[in-house]
Chain A
Amino acid sequence: SQQGEEDPQALSIQEGENATMNCSYKTSINNLQWYRQNSGRGLVHLILIRSNEREKHSGRLRVTLDTSKKSSSLLITASRAADTASYFCATTAGFGNEKLTFGTGTRLTIIP
C-alpha cells in the first residue's frame, strides 16, 4: 500500500511563480525524501528531511515536515520551465533505512 499521498495530483502555474505540493503519510517515519521524475526518465533525489527536523532548504527548494500532522510540503520558488516534472515524496520507517515507500506523485507543469 502507498504510504504517501501527494496533493494536488496535478498543478499548473506560470513561470516565475512559486509551486507548493503536499505529502501526507500514514505511519511514523524516520525521514522523508522528495524525488523528481522528468517524463520518461528515472527519479532523481532532491532533498531529505529527518523526523526531528521541521524545515530544510536547498537552493530554490524548501521542505517542511509536521510529524504531528504526518505531512510534508515541498515549495519550489521562482519556478522555471525545467521544473516541469512529477514530484514524489518517499518515506522510510522502522528499524531499517534501506526501503523507501513512495507516494503517488504531483504532476507539475510550468507554463512559459
Chain B
Amino acid sequence: NAGVTQTPKFRVLKTGQSMTLLCAQDMNHEYMYWYRQDPGMGLRLIHYSVGEGTTAKGEVPDGYNVSRLKKQNFLLGLESAAPSQTSVYFCASSPYTGTRVPEQYFGPGTRLTVT
C-alpha cells in the first residue's frame, strides 16, 4: 500500500495563478483532511471531508476550495494564489471507526511558494 500520496511535491506560483493539489489514499478511509504548516504555527486545518461528496471548512479555509468526487481523492484548489499562501501543505486521512477515535495518516507534503 502506498498510503497517502500527494502531487506535486514542490511548486512555485506567481501571485494570481491557480493550481490544484492532489491527495490520494489507498486505505479506503472515510475522512480526509488538508492542513497547512507554517514556521512556529504547527498544523492548521484548511478543509476536511467526512465522506465522498462532502466537504467542510476548517480553521483557515479562506482562499482555498476543495472537492471529494471520489472516496480515494481529495483535491485542494487555489484559485488566485497570494504570497500568504506560501506554506507546506499536508494531506491526511483516517478511517471511520464509530466511537473509537481514529489516528490520522499523513502524506509527505507539498512545498508551495508564491512569489
Contact B42 A42 (CB under 8 A): no
Given contacts A44-B106, A48-B101, contact A99 B41 (CB under 8 A): no
Interface size in chain A (residues, C-beta < 8 A): 26
Contact B103 A45 (CB under 8 A): yes
CB distance from A76 to the nearest CB of B (A): 18
Interface size in chain B (residues, C-beta < 8 A): 27
Given contacts A2-B41, A41-B108, contact A30 B90 (CB under 8 A): no
Beta-carbon nearest neighbor of B108 in chain A: A42
Cα separation A4 to B41 with both chains bound (whole Å): 11
22 pairs of residues in contact across A and B, judged by CB atoms under 8 Å: A2-B41, A4-B42, A33-B101, A33-B103, A40-B109, A41-B109, A42-B108, A42-B109, A43-B104, A44-B106, A48-B103, A50-B101, A88-B42, A98-B31, A98-B94, A98-B102, A99-B33, A99-B58, A100-B104, A101-B45, A102-B35, A104-B41
The interface residues of chain B lying within 8 Å CB-to-CB of A30 are 101
